[in-house]
């Protein structure tokens, strides 16, 4: 009984040390992911938080669990080193795969599209069109989404192609050949944007959350407009300056009404 108890304690100690190391690595990864790739609110809009929790939870749990199973003080030093090295390599491979998934899921653009903003991720892009983008928009952001607009499709063949690709899941906001600097879309944004007061009137049950977001802008509600922000999860709106159309704050409510 004493031997079994000693073995259990040794296994728990080894797994615990492995868990501490795994949590430290996961913390460093979280800093990169949420400070650079998924700044607020895109960690929620683009599903970054749920994806990160899923990937890291599996990775953090798997390594210490395998260490608990494999660790035995009765093994030779060389045997233990091989076992633990194999576990570490497997865990790092899983972590690198998870990071690559997060990299592909990162938002690279918040693109104005007709009557909304769309959070466009790296995985959304029609990559073969990237060389056709304007020179200043060809590089993809690693520090959160770039604010952009889109041009109108040209009549004829391009418009038909746009419809076909939209049916296939490639909206124009996902096509780099249509991107334009946001300043070019400001008149259209201001034309489509609606008074922020409508949000307060429509979402009376969310009034406190909305008022907090409005306060963050530093502007009175009369000086604000809004448009929906479409991503992979939930409904959000962007609060905009009524003069410049610059985004000032984000709030998680439905803007499609």
CB distance 50 to 33 below 8 Å? no
Token couple for 164: 């076909």
Q: Where are the domains of the chain?
A: 2-105, 109-192, 193-257
Average pLDDT, the chain: 92
- Residues in the chain predicted with pLDDT less than 50, given as ranges, are 1
pLDDT of residue 60: 84
| Residue 33, both tokens | 């992911």
Residue linked to tokens 């797994």 = 15
CA distance 138 to 129: 10
Return the structure tokens found at 143. Answer: 């520090």
**Predicted local distance difference test score (pLDDT) of residue 55:** 84
Per-residue model confidence (pLDDT) at position 50: 87
The pLDDT value given to residue 3: 53
Helices assigned H by DSSP within 121-217:
157-167, 182-192, 197-202, 207-217
What is d(CA 35, CA 30) in angstroms, rounded to the nearest whole number? 8
Cα pseudo-dihedral 212, 214, 220, 226, rounded to 10: -160
Q: What is the DSSP string of 238-256?
A: EEEETTT--EEEEE-S---
First to last CA, the chain: 68
Check residue 1 and give its pLDDT.
45
Task: For residue 5, give both structure tokens.
Answer: 């108890």
């Amino acid at each position: 009984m004493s031997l079994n108890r000693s073995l259990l304690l040794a296994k728990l100690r080894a797994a615990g040390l492995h868990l501490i190391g795994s949590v430290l690595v996961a913390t460093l990864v979280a800093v990169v992911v949420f400070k650079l790739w998924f700044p607020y609110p895109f960690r929620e809009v683009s599903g970054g938080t749920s994806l990160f929790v899923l990937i890291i939870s599996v990775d953090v749990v798997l390594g210490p669990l395998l260490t608990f199973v494999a660790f035995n003080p009765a093994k030779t030093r060389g045997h233990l080193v091989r076992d633990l090295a194999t576990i570490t390599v497997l865990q790092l491979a899983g972590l690198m795969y998870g990071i690559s998934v997060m990299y592909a899921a990162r938002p690279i653009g918040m693109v104005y599209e007709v009557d909304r903003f769309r959070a466009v991720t790296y995985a959304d892009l029609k990559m073969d069109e990237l060389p056709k983008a304007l020179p200043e928009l060809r590089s993809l952001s690693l520090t959160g989404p770039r604010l952009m607009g889109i041009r109108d499709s040209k009549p004829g063949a391009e418009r038909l192609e746009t419809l076909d690709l939209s049916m296939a899941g490639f909206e124009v906001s996902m096509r780099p050949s249509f991107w334009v600097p946001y300043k070019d879309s400001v008149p259209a944004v201001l034309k489509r944007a609606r008074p922020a007061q409508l949000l307060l009137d429509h979402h009376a049950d969310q009034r406190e959350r909305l008022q907090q977001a409005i306060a963050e802008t530093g502007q009175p509600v009369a000086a604000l407009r809004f448009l929906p922000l479409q991503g992979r999860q939930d409904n959000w709106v962007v609060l905009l300056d009524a003069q410049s159309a610059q985004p000032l704050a984000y709030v998680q409510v439905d803007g499609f009404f």
